[in-house]
Structure 1
Amino acid sequence: MMIYLDNSATSFPKPAGLTAEMGDCMERYCGNPGRSGHDMSMLTGEKVYRARKTVAEIFHITDPSRLVFTKNTTESLNMAFMGLLQDGDHVVTTSMEHNSVLRPLEYLRAKGVSHTIVDGSSEGYVNAEDIEAAITEDTRLVAVTGASNVTGTIQPLDEIGRICARHQIPFLVDAAQLAGCSEIDVEKLGISLLAFPGHKGLLGPLGTGCLYVDPAIQLQPLLYGGTGTESRSRIQPQEFPEGYEAGTVNAPGIIGLGYAVRMLRKVGIETVELYERELIGYFDEMIQNMDFIDLYGPVPEGKTGISLFNVRGVECEEVAAQLNKDYGIAVRSGYHCAGLAHKTIGTWDTGAVRLSVGPFNTRRDLRAAAEAIWKIGKRRR
């Protein structure tokens, strides 16, 4: 069986019982929530609401209706950018962002929305003071990744949140790599908009994501269409959450997400964070003593469960291919949809191999990966 070490792309395996929960929905009651008054529709609606409430609680969101279900973090981020920004607005972001942040902002440049990219350090850290220095009188939004998908570097969200509050600027956090892997309290961190996936650290199914929108934020919907409310009007409703979830939602996926989050809460996010940090520290310690390894990013205490490295003399894609074919180990190589982050840390010309752990991995998995990398490195000579 394959050793799965690509949890930053999507978590695997999923919690026991998740597929049964989704299957129960599909087989027993899967009506269209919010569209009909019969028992199947209403039960599906109740289950979706329960999932919304469960997910909201782990981020300390007091009003679950402000949590909008999407299909992934990319959709959530686009909903935030397109719904908030207008001609003349300015955005502050960082060089460690995923293309799900940088590409929408580049598109909006043609719409009159400018942005400033604050450089991170060679380890991927962004200085909160540099964020503040980039703010202008036209700044409408500060958008920062909670943790880099390339290096795992965790950013100082509390400091940045205080800066945004002081300047009365909304604070958007891309929590694709942080949600479920570290505690996030939207109130304490001063987060105005939080975008995150259901299928990574929250251990839910693919095709699920969310956007939290603070009650003080006015947002235009990204999609226009059926909401199950105000059907006689041709104007899109803007009540939360229905006005921002046009069309039929992925009810089985959302219900599965709610189940996964309940299982995660039983274990405890802090427990998961400490366990994954211990695992990645164990792996980093094993490979950093190999004389042919270049290891990037911060020490384990400053990152999520990601290790980014290269084997000198072997292209990163070849390392990943050998791990897959010869050793049955799944990792990811290349630029990880974040080319600017690679430029920041010095791997623009090479890309790198990314190994990422999850709560179901063991020390044995990491030891097997390190031994395989040792063999690949020795073979290159």
Structure 2
Amino acid sequence: MIYFDQAASSHPKPPEVGEAMIHALNEMGANPGRGDHRLAKEAADIISETRKIASRLFGCSDPKKVLFYQNATAALNQAIKGMPWVNGNHVIATTFEHNSIRRPLESLKKQYGVDVTYVPWYDHEDDFIEHVKQAITHDTKLIAMTHASNVTGAVMPIERIASAARQHQIPLLVDASQTAGHKHLHMKNMGINMMAFPGHKGLLGPQGIGMLMVEGDLDLQPLNHGGTGSFSEDPDQPSHWPEKLESGTLNTPGIAGLHAALKFYETRNHENVPRETLLTQTLFKGLKKIEGVTCYGPDEHVEQMPIVAFNVLDIPSQEIAMVLDSHYDIAVRAGLHCSPLTHETLGTTEQGIVRASLGRYNTEDEVEQFLQAIKEITESYNLL
């Protein structure tokens, strides 16, 4: 199969990721932080080392504020719902948000009477920045923003947003689900206060593990309370990080796999232009040459993630995806991609969008096969 659904979950993984997970299952097996024996210490060590390497790679000053969750959605929920909210508070987000940000914000609206402004993105950076600045009020308590659209791959100007947020002393939460593993990220240098991402996308790690990183003195209240392996005599949740925001047994095999993925990423972090970016540019240019294909998002001269969003004529996007799967053995994603506001902005709510997303292990030959398939599909529908 040609796998062009990397934005949903990367495939395949580096061999060392699976090997690290199997080692954790078969050779460690113990509960980290829940014992003084050798196996429990070994499990705790891999978790500590993963915090440290992530802290170093992504510019988070304190490894204890590198937190583990089952995915980026849970991490974003902790970041958003863990802040103190009262009626009349205000949050700024974008129309390109995934539901993992939008739905927690909508929950705040219902629970606390928080006001939310969704600033539209039309691929015009200066206009977007100006609209964000205009949306800031005395009641704005958070800017929560995706770093890149999971639908079109458009990259938000996070550092310029951070500068505006800093001027008004507003925390900035960044959803780096599509950029972690593809772009150089450094929280302190970029002015990011909180950043969340999964292990299983651009970082090429396993599913079931995600991270929330907190830079500076920002305080959060835990969404979950329970056992932490320490401070057991206290009926209240510990005030120390990371125990304060991590209750229950951590996913040691997942963290071990993420540790291996982060080490693999460290070896390629120097790449100025990842190979999947070059392949994406070829794919985008090829699709634009096919009559009847409409592409969305930035053009090939603008930075974007390895995602190409398009439609064929007026055919429902999910129908095109099914044809690609059943007749060409090609996997893509179609529909609304858990980001309905994006489709309202693009005017594609009814048709949806076909999303082809590439990764490190895709090839030029696969891109050529994909383009030929789309050409044949378009020609066949034109004959109907």
TM range (shorter): over 0.9
- Give 2:267's aligned residue: 266
Q: Does residue 36 of the first structure (1) align with residue 31 of the second (2)? A: no
Task: Decide whether aligned partners of structure 1 residues 126 and 152 sit closer, same or farther in structure 2, where only a CA change above 3 A counts.
Answer: farther
Q: Does residue 225 of the first structure (1) align with residue 226 of the second (2)? A: yes
- Give 1:249's aligned residue: 250
Q: Does residue 115 of the first structure (1) align with residue 123 of the second (2)? A: no
Alpha carbons 1:124, 1:153 under 8 Å: kept: no
C-alpha distance in 2 between matches for 1:185 and 1:266: 17
SS of the equivalent of 2:271 reads helix
C-alpha distance in 2 between matches for 1:114 and 1:186: 27
Deviation at 1:126, TM superposition (A): 7.0
- Give 2:130's aligned residue: 129
SS of the equivalent of 2:213 reads strand
Alpha carbons 2:61, 2:188 under 8 Å: kept: no
* Structure 1: segments with no counterpart, 5+ residues: none
Structure 1 stretch displaced more, 45-54 or 118-127: 118-127
Deviation at 1:305, TM superposition (A): 0.3
Deviation at 1:28, TM superposition (A): 0.9
Task: Decide whether aligned partners of structure 1 residues 268 and 214 sit closer, same or farther in structure 2, where only a CA change above 3 A counts.
Answer: closer
- Give 1:150's aligned residue: 151
| TM norm structure 1 | 0.97
C-alpha distance in 2 between matches for 1:123 and 1:100: 24
- Give 1:58's aligned residue: 57
Q: Which amino acid aligns with 2:65?
A: R
Matched residues, percent identical?
A: 39
- Give 2:95's aligned residue: 95
- Mapping 1:154-169, distance limit 5 Å: 154-169=155-170
C-alpha distance in 1 between matches for 2:227 and 2:361: 40
Alpha carbons 2:61, 2:215 under 8 Å: kept: no
Deviation string for 1:94-114 (max 9, x for gaps)? 111001111111111122221
- Give 2:67's aligned residue: 68
Deviation string for 1:173-228 (max 9, x for gaps)? 01010111101110111100001111101110000100011231010011111111
- Give 2:48's aligned residue: 49
C-alpha distance in 2 between matches for 1:70 and 1:191: 19
Deviation at 1:62, TM superposition (A): 2.3
C-alpha distance in 2 between matches for 1:185 and 1:37: 35
C-alpha distance in 1 between matches for 2:315 and 2:324: 12
Task: Decide whether aligned partners of structure 1 residues 154 and 201 sit closer, same or farther in structure 2, where only a CA change above 3 A counts.
Answer: same
Task: Decide whether aligned partners of structure 1 residues 12 and 149 sit closer, same or farther in structure 2, where only a CA change above 3 A counts.
Answer: same
Deviation at 1:128, TM superposition (A): 1.5
Deviation at 1:124, TM superposition (A): 9.4
Deviation string for 1:293-313 (max 9, x for gaps)? 000000233210000000004
Deviation at 1:123, TM superposition (A): 7.6
C-alpha distance in 2 between matches for 1:305 and 1:126: 24
- Give 2:326's aligned residue: 325
- Mapping 1:280-319, distance limit 5 Å: 280-300=280-300, 301-319=302-320
Structure 1 stretch displaced more, 167-176 or 207-216: 207-216
- Mapping 1:190-229, distance limit 5 Å: 190-229=191-230
Alpha carbons 2:2, 2:330 under 8 Å: kept: yes
Alpha carbons 1:118, 1:126 under 8 Å: kept: no
Deviation string for 1:310-340 (max 9, x for gaps)? 0004211111001111111110000000010
Deviation string for 1:25-51 (max 9, x for gaps)? 111112101111111000100011111
C-alpha distance in 1 between matches for 2:369 and 2:154: 25
Alpha carbons 1:85, 1:140 under 8 Å: kept: no
